[in-house]
Structure 1
């Protein structure tokens, strides 16, 4: 009993005590004194995963709330599952958390949005997931669907904010014809927002357009972080983003997933190398393997890939097409380089980038095509900033 009381007191005051430590980041999840009063006496649903942690001890938010006698009815799990160990695109099944017995409902696969039935026995949803700042990283698509479900069912949503580790604004704005789960919102590839700011933008811009009501939203902001401030994640946000370099390169390398060029899935350095089983792509070699915890069925499995090693390159800032254009020209394949052209367009949020590449345009020329839209987005974004 004494240990439980000590644990509760630690959780309650972790934010308050840390506030006085200069330069210390306090995430929204750690500011328990701000949101526990909003949860007391209510039936709580949670949209969380393995990144939903508190403090240096990396205490799971679910465990914390249960210890504090919060009535957590269920957990909604995004892509990669509640514990974050499912491969990209792998079906995540419903079940129960083995540690707490809490029911888990998948929001990846056939059911990407909480249903009316799934929302009936809850009053409020807590969203706490670490984003990486890229439009096609699907955690923010899950947040959009959860906001829509909350608006439709008259439920409250509390977003516990976390830093953006790739805090840039760059890339084309998504067009409506290219809306998909890897791009739900009319924002650039690198959106320059935290999840809390994105939630405010979704509400403020009226993007929940199926109903007249917006989501009943509360954002618990961070303390000790500002835009442009570097942030190193304490835990990898998904199986194939294991370190800071992979996160920095992710937005620029993800478009390769619409080609036959490997981004290093099946190695311990995914999204840090590029290659294919052809020596024309470079002298660096790697061989994708089945790696639990990374990728069990990678492209070019057991085949030697030739290409480039990007693990130690510096000045990886924002989004660039330089790597893609370099491999495109090395391939000599023209249109067939785009193994899945539609997928490339969905990742880009437009077909203009692919068409410009096929037309032989340079990166500078391609970037000029989205410059005007990007300026409008930056101006709109200012209304929703918290930091």
Structure 2
């Protein structure tokens, strides 16, 4: 019977993808490293969006709102980059989608980081798009009116200041207030193989970190959704009617290559892997590759020591960065394209850059750095001359406490 059931599920998926009208190969050469097919380690991961048999029955005869961006797709199979957008797929199956909610970077993922996303109409489907990164970041009662259920499907990268998890929390909170169920379709976390970094302090919570979690929290977006729901971390400890559709064949040590840029300035696997460490430069006046084709794979600034650094580059406005830091200036720094695969938050690069600043008063944007780090201590420790090892030792107690909480919500082998 299990064999017959497997055959039926396979036939169902083939029929689904035919109905969705997949007829062209969608490529992301940056992510795929210019190969014909992306590399996905064995065993083959089946993302939750592909497990339609698990959630289509729940959507039947309901008015649906979808929180989505360019990563919200159903793949033809686990070995290629052929896909169709989740919204297009569900509409072809007569699912009654009424609204699309768009996070930072927009529904099609083209807006700059921090750029306000406007409400509008999706030209392909005619659906109204409601921005969750403009006038409001939490769906209003009026915006949720008439919906029976909200479906959330966005690719995360497992870093606290990556804003999609804040959008998730605010969506869950708004739906809980209006007693609207939420379904989260789970996806791999490319930085899900470790936990590290300073923990967000309550005094500094905001859209770059709303809960007391480390910089890198080692959870899928579905696991994290259950954590914030059950730990009482939403406003007034409200709880959402939450369903997480899990993946198949995923572990926290699965090396998973993303087929689509999760945001404009994370173009490939190397950038995603370095993002937890180089993302700390976002709270400084040092450029972390924005305005080049190597975002989060290099760093530099005009005020860094040109004698100490042999590598230099000049940021210019480009896709995803209309006005990069150090725009048009020669930046001295380091090229990290060939850095080893990271399994920790490294402080060596930001400490090195600070120590080699010609004018250290130019280095930190203090309020921005605190929001990214989640604490004032990290800037103070760097300025005081502590080593990376000394600073990381100060994180240990908080990390142990978080790992104990995290363990309760893991759905996949760790």
With the length of structure 1 as denominator, give the TM-score of the two structures.
Answer: 0.93
Whole-angstrom distance in 1 between the partners of 2:136 and 2:308: 40
**Does residue 47 in structure 1 map to residue 67 in structure 2?**
yes
Aligned residues: 373
Partner of 1:295: 321
**Does residue 9 in structure 1 map to residue 23 in structure 2?**
no
**Does residue 351 in structure 1 map to residue 392 in structure 2?**
no
Partner of 2:410: 385
Equivalences for 1:4-83 in 2 at 5 Å? 9-11=15-17, 23-55=43-75, 56-83=81-108
**Does residue 135 in structure 1 map to residue 160 in structure 2?**
yes
CA shift digits 1:205-227 (9 cap, x unpaired): 011132x5410000000001101
Q: CA RMSD in A?
A: 1.9
Determine if contact 2:284/2:368 at 8 Å carries over to the other structure: no
Partner of 1:185: 211
Task: State the secondary structure of the residue aligned to 2:152.
Answer: strand
Partner of 1:171: 197
Determine if contact 1:280/1:330 at 8 Å carries over to the other structure: no
Query: Of 311, 314, 317, which aligns to 1:284?
Result: 311
CA shift digits 1:147-201 (9 cap, x unpaired): 1001111000000000000112001110110101111111000010000000000
Gaps of 5+ in 1: 1-5, 15-21
Determine if contact 2:285/2:362 at 8 Å carries over to the other structure: no
Q: CA deviation at 1:333?
A: 3.5
Task: State the secondary structure of the residue aligned to 2:223.
Answer: helix
Partner of 1:368: 393
Task: State the secondary structure of the residue aligned to 1:308.
Answer: strand
Query: Of 271, 277, 295, which aligns to 1:252?
Result: 277
Partner of 2:351: 325
Call closer, same or farther: CA 1:108–1:335 in 2, change over 3 Å: same
Call closer, same or farther: CA 1:196–1:235 in 2, change over 3 Å: same
Whole-angstrom distance in 1 between the partners of 2:14 and 2:175: 29
Whole-angstrom distance in 2 between the partners of 1:296 and 1:334: 26
Q: CA deviation at 1:335?
A: 4.9
Partner of 2:28: none
Whole-angstrom distance in 2 between the partners of 1:281 and 1:156: 56
Task: State the secondary structure of the residue aligned to 1:189.
Answer: strand
Structure having the larger proportion of residues in helix: 1
Task: State the secondary structure of the residue aligned to 1:331.
Answer: coil
Q: CA deviation at 1:303?
A: 2.0
Q: Which runs of 4+ in 1 moved over 3 A?
A: 11-14, 332-336
Task: State the secondary structure of the residue aligned to 2:151.
Answer: strand
**Does residue 306 in structure 1 map to residue 332 in structure 2?**
yes
Whole-angstrom distance in 1 between the partners of 2:247 and 2:191: 17
Equivalences for 1:127-276 in 2 at 5 Å? 127-167=152-192, 168-210=194-236, 213-276=238-301
CA shift digits 1:3-53 (9 cap, x unpaired): xxx998234999xxxxxxx82211010000000011111110000000001
Determine if contact 2:160/2:208 at 8 Å carries over to the other structure: yes
Whole-angstrom distance in 1 between the partners of 2:13 and 2:45: 21
Q: CA deviation at 1:281?
A: 5.5
Determine if contact 1:124/1:156 at 8 Å carries over to the other structure: yes
